[in-house]
Structure 1
Amino acid sequence: MVADAYYIRVSVDGDDVPLSGHCNGNANSGDCRFTATQSSTPTITQVEPVSQASLPGIIMKLYGKIYSGVYGSNVPSDEITNGVTERILRVYAHAQLCELRGENDTFYGLEMDNDGSSTNGFMKCLTKGTFVGNTNASFILEGKYGRSMPDANLLRVSSNDDIYMFQTYAKVTGVNPSTGSVKGGTLITISGQYFDETNSAVRVLVGGTECEVTQEITDSQIICRTADQLSAPRYAGNRGLNYEEFSSTYHSFSDLPNLADLLTNATDYSSSVIDEFYFTENDLDGYSTRTHGFFIPPHTGQYTLHVKCDDSAILYLSTDDDPVNKVLCE
């Protein structure tokens, strides 16, 4: 909601109540008006996790200008040092309640910065439900504060144009059998968690081609029949980028192209899958990384790619799906 003055108007079953029926006949009086101000609006600036391992039923951390560390009667009024006595009423994630307290009434985490004197702080809550997809989080404070809003830099846009704060996704734990004919016809059982069809039907791709779902999907199992496989040697596959790190190998800017020649059997080598191209490393110095994956444009158009790094970085983009044809972006 944009900071401004708003007048309340009421409708019943789709029919507008006449202005004469508002606020004793004075629809433009102060009784029918409220003002939203930025200075009194709680703001979420950071969510953890964003998506990696962000399965339903995890502990989520919300950080920002939350104003209050009071929930129920956890903080006596004489111990509040930032002057905000209003309580946190509810926290939401996946459009469901996100619980601040667990067993034995113990908080998952609720703390204000600067030993309680700041209006910035964080809360941790346990998410509910099994919803999979793009979603948001918010909380409500008593009094003039109301519902929180996300910082604009926190919002993301998905490939289907959803605006969201974080994602939840299904987890695949097994595929059986692990081999089959390239001519298709193999029945595959996919095991996992949170195979949710709330927003859309489950779609399975094997080797980049559609795998026909043959039985009713459960929360933990999908059975599908493979089709003839494409001859293409590469396909996008699952979410994420392959992140490789050489913890004690340093390359200067002029020597960065030689990173491609480093071997994965090096003693300082490690790898993982990351969900974002943006990442930080605060524990190492004098190291090198390389990241690769598929870029799938959600829309036809011109795209500008930017690189920001400390100390230095270079970016390659292939002309097709083969990394051999990569070209240095200059």
Structure 2
Amino acid sequence: SVNGATRLTIQGDGFAQERQFQLNPVDDMFGNRVTLVSNTLSVPCDVERDSTHSSQIMCYTRPMPYDYYEIHVSVDGVPSMCRYSWFCSFRTVWYRTPTIESLSPVSGPPGTLVTVYGRIFTDVYGSNTDLSSNGINARFLSQAVKKLYRVSALGKLSMFQTFAEVTGVLPSEGSIMGGTLLTVQGRFFDETDQPARVLVGGLPCEVQSVDDDRITCKTAEHQMNKNAAVYPGGRGLKMEVWNNSWPSSLSNIWSYNKNTTGYWSQWIDSMPYVLPREMDYFTTRFTGFFVPPATGNYTIYLNCDDRCDLYLSNSSRPENKVKVAYQPYYVNDYTQLASQKSQVLALEKDKPYYMEILQQEYAGAATINLGLFQGESSYTEDQTDDAVNEVQDIGADYDVFDEEQVVTFDMWPANVAGVKEVQNVTVSSSCSDAVCSSAFFTPIAVSASAAEVETALNSLWSIKPDTVMVTKQQSSEGSHFIVTFNSDRGDFKRLHFEVFGSDTNITVTEVTKGRGNMKTFTLLWGRIPTKPIAFNASKSEVQSALEDLMKAECPGEILTFEGTDVKYFKDFENDTSKEMSVKMKQKTFNIANGGTPVDHSGFCGRWSLKNAEILFKDTTFFTNIHLIFFQLCFAYKGMLKDEVGMRFTYQDSKGTTLTLTTKINTIFNKVVGENVIISATETRKGGLWIRSLTGDFFRVWENKPQV
């Protein structure tokens, strides 16, 4: 059973028995331990100690999902081996799971005899009794199907609802000025869920004391309403029946009374209500009050066998009733005819609204039912079938305009002598070359030669297609790299740098301020410059320079092969079809949330990874790790949370598997479009769709004020 309570008997030898009844053992691993293990889950099986000895262990399973499980046993912390592995397995299946599918009745006072229907194997619950009364060796621990969980007028989930009974009121008369001490007699009065509340003629009666069989309260001043013909009473509805009746119209039922042939009546507490199947050709009238559990919008649904009308008043007065729903012929549920559904009704909490249902039955089964849709709910469809989850479509509308810019040259100077920019980069470090060359690898070692620095600078997009020349000098202050910019552009901003340790210092000073010869100019887009453009360039030359900024090309400083300096690289360019890209995703990430490779132009090349949560995952097992990587480099498009996470799993010297998780705060650029309008369209209204109404939604009608 997936609900647990299945008794397993494990046979073998060498099981613990001497300390089976030791209370609160110091060592939690002592004695026999049984665990059911699947591919994804480990679930303990609770050992029944008084039924366990050296050659047998008895345990009771816990609730667990449908799956195949291996049985693992340890004795005083030492794992035991299964002699025949195919005998040491267990499977949870639906047809071995006790399930409650319906019960009758669904409400009543405490002590009501309830009949439970479903897949029930046994009447033994949590004892050492060997057999059930039907001879089956099983334990009872069932689950109810979700449709049995109903929402009451108090907003609570239940399968069965109990209620108190009022048997009498003393005195039966009192002053309209109030102050009469009233004793309400009955059964099952309590204040377990909330304080007792007494209404006399619809007005609060101040509670003085509460006992199981009586409540005393003091009445309030009461203004007599001489126009009232009926008053709300206790829970439920009054059902009146006329056997052997064939009205041509349901409205003819209003001419029937107690003296009409075939009359009888009965109080009912819940809907749907099913009349005896042997009854045919009769009419019924249900009368009472509907009392909304909360202020809000409601829609009432009607269903019956064979035809029926529903009337509702806007108050407690019957003369104000109007037809709000009707079913002219037999249909099998609420949703077949538009007429079965009322308009949306704005109703007030705890206000009684007079209602009537007129119904006629021809032959066969006879039922009457009301459904109620309430526009608000604190429950979801996972909790009860009465809940309806809200569904909304969210859309974003925005305006797109092509940007237009004009570049104008006014009085452009000619014959200007250019001056090359010269900068001095001074690097000082207290660590040795051997250490620094590996510890501070990315991107340039502090001990680098002039040629290495020159190569690194010449690969920068901000310098290309121009070049630099670098010379190196040593002094007591450190290494001096003299950088000369071979460019007609003239002035350059000072080189930017980053260091990865507190023992290294870098300064950049401008030795010679460059000056352009005015033969070329550059344009910046997103702080990235174009290649130099001749001041008298053609339209196509300017367009080509700007389009170069949008090309999907990887910068040269990004190494495109894995090795000593690069742990992981993926550009998604190996596969050119969507099918292959999915295979690549599974191979690369081996997880469900690794994102989807899609054919969109990315930062580098043609492909990119859409909606990726994990950028890199390595399941390789290392005995010792001495790898240091200082940079994580990736290009992205869209909105990212300002956080990068890392998780590391390892085994300590004791063999215990541990996991460390860290979060690195960072700032990702966020670009939000202008004039964006976000709209939400409700495609399905959420709320409560209560298909079975218990008596606490209704009040019977009486001819005089009631308690």
**TM more than 0.5:** yes
The answer on whether the counterparts of 1:43 and 1:64 sit within 8 Å (CA) in structure 2 is yes
Equivalent pairs, count: 243
The answer on whether the counterparts of 1:190 and 1:221 sit within 8 Å (CA) in structure 2 is yes
1:313 CA drift (Å): 0.7
CA distance in 2, matches of 1:50, 1:181: 39
Structure 2 residue aligned with 1:317: 312
Change in Cα spacing, 1:212 to 1:300, as seen in structure 2 (3 Å) is closer
Structure 2 residue aligned with 1:295: 290
Residue 58 of structure 1 pairs with residue 88 of structure 2: no
Structure 2 residue aligned with 1:279: 273
Structure 2 residue aligned with 1:112: none
- Greater RCO, 1 or 2 (C-alpha within 8 Å, sep 6+): 2
AA aligned opposite 2:65: T
Change in Cα spacing, 1:286 to 1:167, as seen in structure 2 (3 Å) is same
Change in Cα spacing, 1:293 to 1:283, as seen in structure 2 (3 Å) is same
Change in Cα spacing, 1:196 to 1:27, as seen in structure 2 (3 Å) is same
Superposition CA RMSD, Å:
3.1
AA aligned opposite 1:63: Y
Change in Cα spacing, 1:76 to 1:64, as seen in structure 2 (3 Å) is closer
Change in Cα spacing, 1:230 to 1:150, as seen in structure 2 (3 Å) is farther
Deviates more, 1:66-75 or 1:152-161: 66-75
Residue 45 of structure 1 pairs with residue 101 of structure 2: yes
1:48 CA drift (Å): 2.2
Change in Cα spacing, 1:319 to 1:86, as seen in structure 2 (3 Å) is same
> How do residues 1-330 of structure 1 correspond to structure 2 at under 5 angstroms?
31-32=42-43, 34-36=64-66, 38-51=94-107, 54-68=108-122, 72=129, 73-75=131-133, 85-88=136-139, 141=140, 147-214=141-208, 216-232=209-225, 233=228, 234-252=230-248, 255-281=249-275, 282-330=277-325
AA aligned opposite 1:217: V
Fraction of identical pairs, as percent = 40
The answer on whether the counterparts of 2:243 and 2:261 sit within 8 Å (CA) in structure 1 is no
1:324 CA drift (Å): 0.8
Secondary structure class of the residue paired with 2:168: strand
1:227 CA drift (Å): 0.5
Structure 2 gaps of 5+ residues are 4-32, 45-63, 67-92, 326-707
TM-score w.r.t. structure 2 length? 0.32
1:204 CA drift (Å): 0.7
Secondary structure class of the residue paired with 2:215: strand
The answer on whether the counterparts of 1:209 and 1:230 sit within 8 Å (CA) in structure 2 is no
Structure 1 gaps of 5+ residues are 4-21, 78-84, 89-140, 142-146
Residue by residue, what CA displacement relative to the aligned partner does 1:38-96 show, whole Å, maximum 9, x if unpaired?
44432212222221xx222232221112134678435575xxxxxxx4424xxxxxxxx
TM-score w.r.t. structure 1 length? 0.65
Residue by residue, what CA displacement relative to the aligned partner does 1:136-193 show, whole Å, maximum 9, x if unpaired?
xxxxx2xxxxx32222222210122101111111111111111122221211111111
Change in Cα spacing, 1:75 to 1:149, as seen in structure 2 (3 Å) is closer
AA aligned opposite 1:228: E
CA distance in 2, matches of 1:47, 1:38: 20
Change in Cα spacing, 1:149 to 1:325, as seen in structure 2 (3 Å) is same
The answer on whether the counterparts of 1:43 and 1:149 sit within 8 Å (CA) in structure 2 is yes
The answer on whether the counterparts of 1:207 and 1:230 sit within 8 Å (CA) in structure 2 is no
AA aligned opposite 1:168: T
Secondary structure class of the residue paired with 1:265: coil
Residue by residue, what CA displacement relative to the aligned partner does 1:223-248 show, whole Å, maximum 9, x if unpaired?
11110124453543210011111112
AA aligned opposite 1:324: E
- Structure with larger Rg: 2
AA aligned opposite 2:97: T
Structure 2 residue aligned with 1:122: none
